[in-house]
Amino acid sequence: MAQRHMSREQQRLARLAQPDLDWSMAPETMDRYLLYRLYLVEHQIDGIIRSLERNNVAPYPAHLEDRSMPEDVWASWASLNYLLRARDNLRSALAHSNQS
């Protein structure tokens, strides 16, 4: 994966992204951190989708018992599922913090 160039603020937030420090962030900083995490998750989702498209994989597995799909393709689908849930949770957290 190509290395990304992060702004100074993104680097600072990435250093703060440790579980024991997250809870002590100011609300504005937490919102920026969540937006940054959302950006990273969406970038990863795009990468997995491009990878699946490049390999000419069907848009979704036809059957959960489909043994014809390679293991790495199943791993990509599992990662995609995880990342989609993470994206939904981040969006929910951002919406909740904006209502407060």
Q: What is the pLDDT of residue 37?
A: 94
**Alpha-carbon distance values, 23 to 17, 18, 53, 70, 97 (Å):** 10, 9, 39, 41, 13
Domain spans of the chain, in order of start: 27-60+70-100
What are 8-23's pLDDT values in tens digits? 666 666 665 554 545 5
Q: What distance in Å separates the CA atoms of residue 35 and residue 23, rounded to the nearest whole number? A: 16
Model confidence, pTM: 0.66
Helix (H) or strand (E) holding 97: helix 71-99
